[in-house]
């Protein structure tokens, strides 16, 4: 497809301007006011080289440009040269590009040959997979899909929280109050109960905390009994987690958690000692980062057990040595900002220059509609909202809505899963990731607002139009036999412009680690399609006009499905 900015840059290029084509292309703008054209070139920078007023330069350029068939007209307004693209030419280009590329439209090869690791979700073993986990899980999956769409060699890691003193607590609690039958029946809820009871009992019996530390020290030393229990907790937890991942349609390439690096940490503790970075502090080993306003990074506790920073150093070096990543992305809540700053600084002090390629992508908190901050829900007290329960509730509520609307010709059970779960994902990704947001059922399942169900319904609407077309028309548009001059309306042109911008949006969203850019653009496309649908009579008598309009419906359907796929959401044919 024609890169119109590049086309304009080539039209404008002249050695006397003192600018290379890429520089000119970078200066080209898209006017906020459509009456000022589709693209605009500001001439202020040219005044010095050409020794003329910017307004005169713009007038001269406008007078000499415009011979290309892609331009309907070229004119200047003050110091800007405004380019108006020929609508039929533009729409034909867009429709043919989407028709040819199909499911690949929006993808690129900008990252070809570069390895990107995305670490996300990372729940704690033996603890509930709760609603607060949705942010890392869904944002991370969308980033993986965005980088994959940009041609990068992507690798998904679920860095499970399967190590630490919490497992000493869990093992102590299970031995004191647990049962095998209870654990088999409802593993996570049983383990949560043990963990909750441990902290209540520890308030009256502080010796339990010492027992937990001793038990974890045994686990870290490889004690067979502790290791066997830990493995059982891990396997039971993974089975529970994978059921939720299956509902979300999410997979991983690696489940190597913190425990995977337990035998790799001594190398780096020794390296820190050799480089004279370790300092003893009350029996613990730390890296003093006070001069960088980062406090102290604790490497080992006074009992010799490891901490997050130590394991994360080992994990980062392992990934660099084994995958030689171009970029390693960590999708972790903003509450861990200090941890990541400390960890990256320690890597830098150790001499690992590639630490700059390790990127922390933080996100804000999700809270319930009653205002209770999910962050304050404590697994110690058993106050959690299970993510699986939220997803099942979304499916159930969607099915109720569909039955109330008396939807015909669809498998309600199947579609309610696609729409209900898609609605939860879309709600999460419609928000700028760094902002806190409130989870609200009324907003999530609204079929009329800027929501997942609205976009999915738009896809189903486009599918319905195409089902009502005859086979000869569908065959003609599949071959590209259309006359775009029949797409003369403002609504058709506005829709095509949004479709044209999708590949650029995908690249920008990946670069900024911001899936919500795709979500917002998708809503704009859906709204533009619905305006076109309402403004135009599509299945008209005139064959050429009908086929032109059906072509735009077909490519809109493709692009909406492609965007939903980038977000990890299904695109139902019927709703």
Residues with active-site annotation:
127, 130, 133
Distance CA 289, CA 257 (A): 27
Residues 6+ apart with CB under 8 A from 347: 313, 316, 355, 358
What single-letter DSSP state applies at residue 542?
Answer: S
Tokens 């337990």 identify what position? 262
Element (H, E) at 138: helix 134-149
How many C-beta atoms surround the C-beta of residue 222 within 10 A?
10
Distance CA 466, CA 486 (A): 18
> Could you tell me how many residues make up the chain?
575
Structure tokens at 493: 């042109």
- 59: alpha, beta or left, given left = phi > 0 and alpha = psi -120 to 50? alpha
SS3 of 165, please?
A: helix
Q: With contact defined as beta carbons under 8 Å apart, do 176 and 208 qualify?
A: no
HSE of 469 in the Cβ direction (CA atoms, 13 Å)? Answer: 27
Q: With contact defined as beta carbons under 8 Å apart, do 364 and 435 qualify?
A: yes
Distance CA 231, CA 219 (A): 11
Sign of CA dihedral 485, 488, 492, 497: positive
Dump the DSSP string for 33-53. SGGG-SEEEE-GGGHHHHTS-
Nearest to 468, CA basis, from 550, 555, 558: 550
Sign of CA dihedral 159, 376, 336, 131: positive
Distance CA 42, CA 16 (A): 16
Tokens 């713009």 identify what position? 58
Structure tokens at 452: 């997942």
Q: With contact defined as beta carbons under 8 Å apart, do 507 and 150 qualify?
A: yes
Nearest to 378, CA basis, from 515, 198, 251: 198
Q: With contact defined as beta carbons under 8 Å apart, do 362 and 434 qualify?
A: yes
Tokens 């229990």 identify what position? 229
SS3 of 572, please?
A: coil
Q: For strand 327-331 and strand 296-300, is the pairing parallel, antiparallel, or unpaired?
A: unpaired
């Amino acid at each position: 497809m024609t890169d119109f900015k590049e086309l304009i840059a080539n039209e404008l290029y002249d050695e006397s301007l003192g600018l290379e084509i890429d520089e000119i292309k970078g200066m080209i703008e898209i006017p906020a006011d459509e009456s000022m054209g589709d693209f605009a070139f500001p001439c202020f920078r040219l005044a010095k080289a050409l020794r003329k007023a910017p307004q005169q330069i713009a007038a001269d350029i406008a007078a000499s440009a415009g011979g290309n068939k892609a331009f309907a007209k070229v004119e200047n307004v003050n110091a800007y040269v405004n380019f108006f693209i020929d609508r039929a030419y533009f729409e034909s280009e867009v429709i043919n590009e989407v028709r040819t590329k199909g499911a690949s439209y929006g993808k690129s090869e900008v990252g070809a040959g570069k390895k990107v690791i995305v670490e996300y979700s990372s729940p704690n073993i033996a603890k509930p997979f709760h609603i607060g986990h949705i942010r890392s899980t869904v944002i991370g999956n969308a980033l993986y899909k965005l980088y994959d769409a940009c041609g990068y060699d992507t690798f998904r890691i679920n860095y499970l929280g399967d190590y630490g003193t919490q497992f000493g607590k869990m093992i102590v609690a299970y031995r004191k109050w647990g049962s095998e039958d209870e654990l088999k029946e409802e593993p996570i809820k049983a383990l949560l109960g043990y963990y909750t009871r441990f902290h209540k009992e520890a308030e009256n019996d502080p010796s339990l905390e010492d027992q937990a530390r001793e038990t974890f020290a045994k686990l870290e030393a490889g004690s067979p009994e502790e290791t066997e229990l830990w493995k059982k907790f891990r396997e039971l937890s993974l089975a529970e987690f994978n059921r939720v991942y299956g509902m979300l349609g999410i997979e991983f390439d690696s489940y190597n958690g913190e425990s995977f690096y337990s035998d790799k940490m001594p190398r780096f503790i020794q390296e820190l000692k050799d480089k004279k970075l370790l300092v003893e502090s009350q029996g613990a080993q730390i890296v003093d980062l006070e001069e960088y306003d980062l406090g102290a990074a604790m490497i080992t506790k006074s009992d010799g057990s490891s901490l997050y920073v130590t394991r994360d150093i080992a994990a980062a070096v392992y990934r660099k040595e084994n995958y030689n990543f171009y970029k390693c992305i960590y999708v972790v809540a903003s509450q861990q900002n200090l941890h990541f700053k400390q960890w990256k600084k320690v890597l830098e002090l150790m001499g690992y220059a590639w630490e700059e390629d390790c990127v922390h992508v933080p996100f804000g908190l999700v809270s319930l509609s009653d205002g209770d901050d999910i962050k304050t829900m404590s697994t110690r007290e058993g106050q959690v909202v299970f993510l699986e329960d939220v997803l099942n509730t979304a499916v159930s509520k969607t099915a109720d809505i569909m039955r109330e609307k008396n939807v015909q010709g669809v498998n309600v059970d199947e579609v309610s899963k696609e729409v209900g779960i898609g609605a939860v994902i879309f709600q999460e990704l419609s928000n700028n990731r760094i902002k806190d947001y409130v989870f609200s059922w009324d907003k999530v399942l609204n079929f009329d607002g800027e929501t997942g169900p609205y976009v999915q319904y738009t896809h189903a609407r486009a599918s319905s139009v195409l089902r009502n077309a005859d086979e000869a028309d569908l065959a003609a548009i599949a071959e590209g036999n259309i006359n775009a001059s029949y797409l003369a309306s403002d609504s058709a042109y506005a829709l095509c412009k949004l479709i044209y911008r999708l590949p650029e949006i995908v690249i920008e969203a990946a670069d900024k680690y911001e899936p919500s850019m795709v979500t917002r653009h998708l809503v704009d496309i859906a709204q533009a399609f619905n305006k076109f649908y309402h403004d135009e009579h599509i299945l008209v008598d005139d064959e050429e006009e009908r086929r032109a309009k059906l072509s735009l419906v077909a490519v809109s359907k493709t692009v909406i499905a492609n965007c939903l796929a980038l977000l990890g959401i299904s695109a139902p044919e019927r709703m």
